[in-house]
Structure 1
Amino acid sequence: MPASFMKTLRALLPAVPCLLFLAIFFCLPVVEILQTSVLDADGHFTTAQYVRLGSDFVFFKVLWTTFSISGMTALFSVLLGFPVAYFLSQLDDRIRERWIMWIMIPFWTSYLVKTFAWILVLSKTGVLFSLAHALGMVDDGRALVPSMFGVMIGMVHAMLPLAVINMLPIMRNVNMQLMHAAETLGASPSVSFFSIFLPMAGPGVAAAGLLVFITSLGFFILPALLGAPSETMVAQLVIQAINELFNLPYAAALSAVLLVAAILIFMLYDKLVGLSSLSGETRARSSSGGTWSNTLLIAIGRLFSGLRRATDGRRPIMKVYGFGIVALLSLPIIVVLPIAFTDSPFLSFPPKGLSLRWFNSFLFSEVWQTSFLRSFGVATVTALASTAFGIGAALALTRLPSRWTKPFFAFLLAPLIVPRIVVAVGLFYLFSRLSLVGTDIGLVIGHTVLAIPYVVVTMAAALKRFDWRLDDAARILGASAMTRLRTIHLPIMIGSIAAALQMAFIISFDELTIAIFVSGGLKNTLPKQMWDDMILQVNPTLAAVSLVMVVIISLLVALPSLHKRLRMARS
């Protein structure tokens, strides 16, 4: 065999467990979906489901609603998040970490918690309407939920931190000296911003828009609880087809449409921007074909040349805007707090009385405690498994020849790109034959599939900064592989490993889509139990459970920062 081929095989060796795992529990379920959508009850090929979709006006309306909601969510998330990401990119590392922590706590807070909070804020007996009524602004009126307005508020609120976090790394890599040089040569601050900074930050903006759009395609929690029937999205039809109609081929066809849409959008993104931007890198732009866009950006910059764009003048405004966004992101958490301590059996604002009865309902309920312990256990195993798989895959990614890096990275990111509802339906088909529906191991497998891409991105970024000369020196001096791992790799990489474990744990602890299909109604996780209660009746116990989840997520997000401060204080 050629030496280059053997070198590639050796580089791939650490990723073999991860590749096998994804091949079995990601690729097979996706193939299962495509196969089920084109087979009839006798196993013969048919296009009946796609013909049904093509002739169904309701489906096209739902598909248009799905794409329009996802597109508007991506647009508003990027527009609102861009100033925040730009502001954070100009801060010192220590101050930036504090801001990021306050942005990530609302982001990692459960979608169910945030949706429940927005119901409390936007409903007819909620915060906004109650305050407006107390101030005499309205006597009676229409609630803000269910409505498209409520869905968009909930969606943008949920996706805004994702947009900020994806734009920030590339903005931080922009060489600000180029802007200073342009201003020295006579360009106004606004012209240098639009013609230099914005094009260089463009891949980050595109990456944020892509991830927000594709993530939004598979949403069903927010539109189901905050929207009216006119805001139904495709994922809701999938759940209805399985849970109510028991029509698996129709659900598979719906999932296949979402899958194809996501793949096409991803391929277009890779063609225009480049896959590397998803990991915080940017590729050099072609020198040809960019003249007209540069001219347009310079013209836009000149239109804004009358505005004060110097850093000293901009910082206070950007800081106030950043505080406003953080306050908006924290609003649902703030609203849940008093409701959890109400004495009333009904939801109202302001809460009536003060009581711990709803925490007692949570703490001493066998149903709630079983679901909580299951979520905690599944999340712990998921974090360990996905981190183990992801570290090996990331290590292979840094050692592969450049021509293999792109397809390999694309494969590892696939569970992140494919809408979550598609993965859930595919696993349901596979697990139903393996007798894994309604088992904890099935939940762990499903959650691990979703968590691996996040671990790979985190660890790949860390490994690219690792100085491999230290490993070479230790090997030359006779250190074994285990000794090098214990004395060199782990001490240097421990921060990134902890971040990967933290991220995987939170993803699993908050996950609902996989749980709906894989739990089988027998092994409810905490989010699944909350979902069932919200569908039946929204009650104050949910506020108490939501507050507990907020506290757990906040501690997990803040723990690395607190550990770093304690370590610095000791030193």
Structure 2
Amino acid sequence: MRQFTGRWGKLAPVLFFLLLLILYPVGKLLSLSFQGPGGVFSLQAYERLFASSVYVQVMVVTLKISFWTTLATVVISYPVARAIARLPGATRNRLMFWVQLSFWCSFLIRTFGWMVLLNRNGFISQTLQYLQIVDGPIDLLYSAPSVIVGMTHAMVPLCILTMVPVMEGIDENLSKAGMTLGGRPGSVFWRVYFPLSLPGVTAGALLVFITSLGFFIVPAFLGSRHETMITQLIIEQVQEYLNWGFAGALSLLLLVAALVIFTIYDRLLGISTLTGSSDRGVKAGAGPGWAGLIGLKICAGLGHVSDMLFSAIDRIFGNRGAGKPRRSGAGLEWAVVLAILAFLILPALIMVPVSFTAGSRINWPPEGFSLRWYQGLLDSPVWLQAATRSVIVALGAATLAMLIGTPAAFAIARQKLPGRTLILALVLSPLIIPRMVIAVALFYFYAQIGLVGSYAGLIVGHAVLAIPYVVITVMAVLKSYDTRYDQAAWNLGARPTQTLRFITLPLIKGGLISAFLFALITSFDELTIALFVTGGLTTTLPKQMWDDAINVATPILAAASTLLLVFVAVITLLIHRLQTKEQK
């Protein structure tokens, strides 16, 4: 009994929590899609789903936009992640700060920023007119490209943060050895470096694709009816019609698409790679397989094409010394990296000058200078109450996520557990299952137990989404922790609880604080859960911003976005300082 408690005691809270609040509600929601009038078994919802070409077309649009978003995100993220991984500590940390700031910045803020940038009289249109590239205003909004750009911008930081840890573990001497043995730069990159970075690339692509499937903010504001995604239909079915059966059918369709991609990833690389570790016993010692052999052939072909391009460039511009091409290449790489970082930061920063407009609309350029919208924000009891609720819920959710997620991270990182892959899949399920499916399932579950519109419901729902970030962060800290400190304490007679309290926790406190702050921002910026479970009674700040944007869209949104950006920047700076201190 003691051995069972010691092995499973740390995991029991998180397993019970996620089984109760993820698997049961999602299973219940999906079961409703198989019920007809009177609760009898029926396929009526699926007959309706596939009888109309509209719903099939929406799913096709969802998959198409998610695919192009994933492809664009990986291509844009790769050079930044590679540059960050190869930089020395100080420069690397400065770049990582901007990536992390963009990552934790609210989707709403960034989407509002793109509306200012892409509007008919927005920043980009006016800049192109000033440069005489176009003759008149151009409207770049409400199209598939604008949706893909907005979603790509939202996903690039996630992809970079997923790739960097893998690239940091690549020995640069391997590429140097390839060059020494006569390899050309293109072949060395594609045949040596890129295959080694592939686990990070595929993990980033997986997270981006699954997250993209559940997007609704960007297509709602930047797209037209032709870019309607399946999550928007789910919102409509629940909020306007309370049609749980059809919402469940749409959710199942979305969930199946996500699980198919996840299963392919798990078979090829293993779920453990999402946490930066290897999947022991499954992938160890395995050969490349047919997929790996095809990939190697493709990389060899890309390497050959790259070498031909380098040779053509050398013939056109000539080789003016051994050092100059290398410096030119490094300069081009830095230009690309800085351009991508500007792409990440500009949509959020564009809201700052707009918040000081004296006009009554969100437009560019701002009309004069005024603090009226900040004054209106501070004088509004609705906005102040929403901000207060967000702070209370975020503190509660972060605390709950730490209490449940930290012991689970210790158990997964330090113990040999049977069914470790299955346990890890459950712990990471809030990242795997589209967030919209979780939100609708929780809404239905809360309606049965009376938690809709309550602080407890929001805190618990937000904690569910924050737990994976806590577990991944604490596991990363424990991965670099020297267990000899614990062994020394045990040899000196300390009990396990004393060692944990006086040795382990003080040494990893920086990582624990970072995990808490990650959970705090995750909750503070959460909209999907709040969109359903607030019940219109306990509106949070993101929900209030969403309602205001849907109904009026005054510059008070820009003022709220600016203050929220400052808050996120301060928290991100604290996380950055703590991580830098841990590295030292």
Corresponding pairs, count: 565
What is the letter of the counterpart of residue 304 of structure 1?
S
State the match for 1:338 in structure 2: 353
Q: Does 1:327 align with 2:342?
A: yes
Give how far 1:206 is off. Answer: 0.6
1:486-517 Cα shifts (integer Å, max 9, x gaps): 32112211121111111111111110000011
1:296 and 1:259 mapped to 2: Cα distance? Answer: 31
Question: Please, what TM-score do these two structures have when normalized by structure 2?
Answer: 0.92
1:292–1:373 CA distance, 2 compared to 1 (3 A): closer
> 1:127, 1:360 → 2: CA distance?
26
TM-score by length of 1: 0.94
> Which of 378, 391, 401 is equivalent to 2:416?
401
Q: C-alpha separation between the residues in 2 aligned to 1:298 and 1:402?
A: 40
Partners of 1:87 and 1:392 lie apart in 2 by: 35
Residues 162 and 300 (structure 1), Cα distance of their counterparts in 2 relative to 1, 3 Å cut: same
Structure 2 unmatched runs, 5+: 315-322
In 2, distance between residues paired with 1:478 and 1:250? 61
Structure 1 residues 391-430: Cα deviation after superposition (integer angstroms, max 9, x where no partner):
1111111233265221111111111100000000000010
* Aligned with residue 11 of structure 1, among 7, 14, 17: 7
Distance in structure 1 (CA, Å) of the matches to 2:136 and 2:247: 41
Distance 1:559 1:305 in 2: 44
1:421, 1:513 within 8 Å by CA — same for their partners in 2? yes
**Structure 1 match to 2:214:** 218
* Map of 2:318 onto structure 1: none
Residues 342 and 540 in structure 1, CA contact (< 8 A), matched pair in contact too: yes
Q: What residue is the counterpart of 2:120 in the other structure?
A: 124
1:418 and 2:409 are equivalent in the alignment:
no
Are the aligned partners of 1:11 and 1:399 in contact in 2 as well (CA < 8 Å)?
Answer: no
More displaced, 307-316 or 332-341?
307-316
Alignment CA distance shift 1:319-1:137 (3 Å): closer
- Does the CA contact (< 8 Å) of 2:510 and 2:578 recur in 1? no
Aligned equivalent of 2:29: 33
Partner of residue 184, structure 1 = 180
- Aligned AA for 2:305? L
SS of aligned partner of 1:354: coil
1:186 and 1:379, CA in 2 relative to 1: closer, same or farther beyond 3 A?
same
Seen in structure 2, the aligned counterparts of structure 1 residues 48 and 329 have a Cα distance that, compared at 3 Å, is same
- CA deviations on 1:199-218 (whole Å, 9 max, x unpaired) are 11111111111100000101
Deviation at 1:37, TM superposition (A): 1.1
1:168 is matched with: 164
User: Paired residue for 1:478?
Assistant: 493
* 1:227 equivalent in alignment to 2:229: no
102-111 vs 206-215, greater mean Cα deviation: 102-111
Q: 1:99 aligns with which of 89, 95, 99?
A: 95
Q: Distance in 2 between matches of 1:48 and 1:26?
A: 25
1-structure distance, mates of 2:13, 2:470: 15
Most deviating of 386-395 and 58-67? 386-395
C-alpha displacement at 1:229, in angstroms?
0.3
Residue of structure 1 aligned with 2:305, choices 281, 303, 306: 303
- SS in structure 2 of the partner of residue 304 of structure 1: helix
Q: 1:533 to 1:292 in 2, by over 3 A?
A: closer
Residues 564, 268 of structure 1: alpha-carbon distance in 2 compared, 3 angstrom cutoff: closer
- Match of 1:299, as an amino acid? G
Deviation at 1:288, TM superposition (A): 5.2
Structural mapping, 1:85-164, within 5 Å: 85-133=81-129, 138=134, 140-164=136-160
Question: For 2:120, what is the secondary structure of its paired residue?
Answer: coil
Change (3 A) 1:564 1:278: closer
Q: 2:514·2:578 contact (CA, 8 Å) conserved in 1? A: no
Post-superposition CA distance 1:11-41 (Å, at most 9, x none): 2211111111111111111111111111123
Contact 1:170–1:280 at 8 Å: present in 2 too? yes
Taking the aligned partners of 1:181 and 1:142, their CA distance within structure 2 comes to: 51
* Aligned counterparts, 1:431-442, within 5 A: 431-442=446-457
Q: Deviations over 1:79-128 (max 9, x none)?
A: 11111111111111332111111111122111111111111111123222
Counterpart mapping for 1:11-90 below 5 A: 11-90=7-86
Give the distance between the partners of 2:578 and 2:269, measured in 1 at CA: 37
Q: Evaluate the alpha carbon distance shift between residue 465 and residue 132 of structure 1 in structure 2; reply closer, same or farther with a 3 A threshold.
A: closer
Checking the alignment, whether the CA contact within 8 Å between 1:37 and 1:250 is kept in structure 2 is yes
Residues 286/105 of structure 1: CA separation in 2 closer, same or farther (3 Å cut): same
In the alignment, residue 185 of structure 1 is paired with which amino acid?
A: L
C-alpha distance 366-292 of structure 1, shift in aligned 2 (>3 A): closer
Distance 1:436-1:356 versus aligned 2 partners, 3 A rule: same
1:271 Cα deviation after fit = 0.8
Aligned partner of 2:319 in structure 1 is none
Instruction: Judge conservation of contact 2:477–2:511 (CA < 8 Å) in 1.
Output: yes
Q: Deviations over 1:247-286 (max 9, x none)?
A: 1111111111111211111111111222122112455561
Q: Note the C-alpha offset of 1:311.
A: 6.3
Partner Cα separation in structure 1 for residue 96 and residue 545 of structure 2? 28
How much does 1:134 deviate?
Answer: 5.0
CA distance in 2, matches of 1:567, 1:7: 33
Q: What is the aligned partner in structure 2 of residue 208 from structure 1?
A: 204
* Alignment pair present for 1:350 and 2:369: no
Q: 1:8, 1:400 within 8 Å by CA — same for their partners in 2?
A: no
Q: CA deviation at 1:316?
A: 2.3
Q: Deviations over 1:539-571 (max 9, x none)?
A: 110000000000000110012334677999xx9
Secondary structure of 1:332's counterpart equals helix
Give the residue type in structure 2 aligned to 1:448.
Answer: A
Task: Determine what percentage of the aligned residue pairs are the same residue.
Answer: 39
Structure 1 contact 8–401 (Cα < 8 Å) conserved = no
SS in 1 for 2:364: coil
* Change over 3 Å in CA distance of 1:319–1:392 after alignment to 2: same
Distance 1:519 1:79, change over 3 A: same
CA contact (8 A) 1:378 1:443 kept: yes
Distance, in Å, in 1 between the alignment partners of 2:208 and 2:298 is 27
Name the counterpart of 2:317. none
Structure 1 residues 564, 508: CA separation in 2 closer, same or farther (over 3 Å shift)? closer
- Aligned equivalent of 1:244: 240
Pair 1:381 & 2:383 matched: no
The 3-state SS of whatever aligns with 1:305 is helix
Alignment of 1:523-534 (within 5 A): 523-534=538-549
- Any stretches of 5+ residues in structure 1 without a counterpart? none
Question: Is 1:545 matched with 2:560?
Answer: yes
Provide the rounded CA distance (Å) in 1 between the counterparts of 2:139 and 2:225: 15
8 Å CA contact 1:37, 1:249 repeated in 2: yes
CA contact (8 A) 1:125 1:347 kept: no
Distance 1:517 1:301, change over 3 A: same
Q: Partners of 1:402 and 1:311 in 2: how far apart?
A: 49
Shift of the 141–127 alpha-carbon distance from structure 1 to 2, 3 Å rule, reads closer
Contact 1:39 1:249 in 2 (8 A): yes
Aligned to 1:286: 287
Residue 490 in structure 1 maps to residue 505 in structure 2: yes
Mean Cα deviation higher: 397-406 or 259-268: 397-406
Aligned partner letter, 2:201: V
Secondary structure of residue in 2 paired with 1:14: coil
